[in-house]
Amino acid sequence: MKSPQTPGNDVTILLIDQLSELQAHISGCLRDEGFHVHIESESEPGLRFWAEHHPEVVICDVASPDIDGLSILSEITASEYSTQVIMISDAGEMDDVVKALRLGATDFLLKPISDPEVLLHAVKRALDEHGLQVQNSHYREQLEQTNRELNNSLRLLKEDQEAARVVQLKMLPEPKKRYGDIEIEYRIIPSLYLSGDFVDYFSLGQDRIGFYLADVSGHGASSAFVTVLLKTMANRVKQHFSKDQPEPLRPAEILKRANDELLPLGLGKHLAVFCGYIDYASRRLVYCSAAHFPPPILVTNGGALALEGSGLPVGLFEEVVYENQEVSLGDSFDLVVFSDGILEVMPQHSVAEKEQYLMEIVSKGIHNIGQLLDHLDLRSKDAVPDDIALMTVSCSPR
């Protein structure tokens, strides 16, 4: 829009007034400044011109025999357009002026408007307001378009995440399964659609059961992608055993191979893992911990034991050494494994207090997933700050 002082600009001003002298005076002043001026003497044709052309400014008499200025003002201000209305009135019509301002008039001028500068100043203010409203409308349209695009992107992202979650859930084993006297159960509570925590377990022949709980750094899609690699590695472990191998790959070897495969990918992800297998015939647990925290808790007839480990995270360092550890299980036992997300939702103040509480409830016989969910108040949480995984491995001879 050109400035009102520039002749030949494209601004159109509609003047609605019955006094020919005032029409000539106002239109002359405005045309001298380069404005296009259209004149009407009655309400109906004035509104018709406005509806067809939407001029930037309307200058309208408040009240005269053939002009209802307040009705014109009401119709214009109620529309979606940015037309600005300047009311003109006699000095004795101040009540109507007040009503006009309340209805949204930009300004008002008192007849006879002898000073052209007063008129031009009012028009300039009206044009400035018109420009601001047009600009705001343009920004609003841009914002609405951006919001539509954002909502569409979020919808597509949600659909992708939901589809990926379906795939991830299909990669997980059954939530609960029994192998003879041994029962394995788990629960994963993701912080987003996809989880960076992952659990798997599998048979390694008649007398051995392998399992692991992994916690990938971060959460969401990038962390969930690493769980696909874990599942692939676990499948290779099962294939290795199925090829008439006398012994399965031991946990430390598995973690070393996982480290060697993950590092070259450059994903910027590492993981904490508790990996092990139970040899049912010899009643022993062989395990390896790669920076897993809090330490799993094993309860046997001899009491409760935290299975500490000193291994480094998988996928962070090239030169790593993982060590297998063994512990006797006896005829009955309960192994409870948590990912570190559990610590984020516990009310105790220090990590040591949280570890102590976990040890206490497990030692007192809170071993299955349902009891743990209740005691840790996990059922009532609509959202969690980090993925949480719980796994229990129990043996109660029947």
pLDDT band at 237 (very low <50, low <70, confident <90, very high): low
Whether 270 and 223 have beta carbons less than 8 Å apart is answered as no
pLDDT band at 94 (very low <50, low <70, confident <90, very high): confident
Which pLDDT value is given to residue 7? 43
Which pLDDT value is given to residue 243? 53
Whether 73 and 86 have beta carbons less than 8 Å apart is answered as no
Would the pLDDT of 242 be above 60?
no
State mean pLDDT over 216-235. 76
Say which range, 81-85, 217-221, 275-279, has the weakest mean pLDDT: 217-221
State mean pLDDT over 233-259. 74
Would the pLDDT of 391 be above 50?
yes
Which pLDDT value is given to residue 245? 60
Which pLDDT value is given to residue 398? 64
Cis peptide before 347 (omega within 30 of 0): no
Which pLDDT value is given to residue 3? 43
102-121 pLDDT per residue, tens: 999 999 999 888 899 999 99
CA torsion through residues 380, 392, 202, 217, sign: positive
In whole angstroms, give the CA distance from residue 161 to residue 194. 7
Whether 388 and 197 have beta carbons less than 8 Å apart is answered as yes
Would the pLDDT of 125 be above 90?
yes
Which pLDDT value is given to residue 161? 77
At 363, phi and psi to the nearest 5? -60, -30
Please state the length of the chain: 398
Which pLDDT value is given to residue 361? 94
Which pLDDT value is given to residue 114? 86
What's the whole-model pTM score? 0.66
In whole angstroms, give the CA distance from residue 211 to residue 208. 10
Q: What is the CA angle 368-370-376, rounded to 5? A: 100
Residue of 282, 288, 218, 293 lying closest to 258 (CA atoms): 288
pLDDT band at 37 (very low <50, low <70, confident <90, very high): very high
In whole angstroms, give the CA distance from residue 363 to residue 365. 5
In whole angstroms, give the CA distance from residue 356 to residue 350. 10
Would the pLDDT of 74 be above 50?
yes
At 110, phi and psi to the nearest 5? -95, 130
The structural architecture, per CATH, of the domain 12-139 is 3-Layer(aba) Sandwich (3.40)
Q: How far apart are the first and last CA of the chain?
A: 89
If 0-12 CB within 10 Å is exposed, 13-18 middle and 19+ buried, where does residue 138 land? exposed
Which pLDDT value is given to residue 248? 64
Would the pLDDT of 78 be above 70?
yes
Which pLDDT value is given to residue 211? 94
Count the neighbouring beta carbons within 10 Å of the beta carbon of residue 397.
8
Count the neighbouring beta carbons within 10 Å of the beta carbon of residue 111.
16
In this structure, the strands spanning 84-89 and 107-110 are parallel
Q: Do domains 12-139 and 173-395 have the same CATH topology?
A: no
In this structure, the strands spanning 63-64 and 12-16 are unpaired
Higher pLDDT, 5 or 244: 244
Would the pLDDT of 229 be above 60?
yes
Mean pLDDT, rounded, of the chain = 88
Would the pLDDT of 66 be above 90?
no
pLDDT band at 367 (very low <50, low <70, confident <90, very high): confident
Q: Who contacts 353 (Cβ-Cβ below 8 Å, separation ≥6)? A: none
3 state SS of 178:
strand
Fold designation for 173-395:
Phosphatase 2c; domain 1 (3.60.40)
State mean pLDDT over 322-338. 94
**E strand intervals along the chain:** 12-16, 36-40, 57-61, 63-64, 67-68, 84-89, 107-110, 176-179, 182-189, 197-203, 208-216, 271-279, 284-290, 297-300, 303-306, 325-328, 333-338, 388-395
Count the neighbouring beta carbons within 10 Å of the beta carbon of residue 85.
25
State mean pLDDT over 177-188. 93
- Integer Rg of the chain from CA: 39
Token representation of residue 394: 């129990």
Which pLDDT value is given to residue 1? 41
Count the neighbouring beta carbons within 10 Å of the beta carbon of residue 167.
11
Would the pLDDT of 43 be above 50?
yes
Q: Would you kindly state where each structural domain of the chain is located, as residue ranges?
A: 12-139, 173-395
Which pLDDT value is given to residue 309? 87
Q: Chain-centre distance of CA 172, in angstroms? A: 25
In whole angstroms, give the CA distance from residue 8 to residue 177. 85
Which pLDDT value is given to residue 89? 87
Would the pLDDT of 305 be above 60?
yes
277-294 pLDDT per residue, tens: 999 889 999 999 999 999
Percent of the chain with pLDDT strictly greater than 70: 94
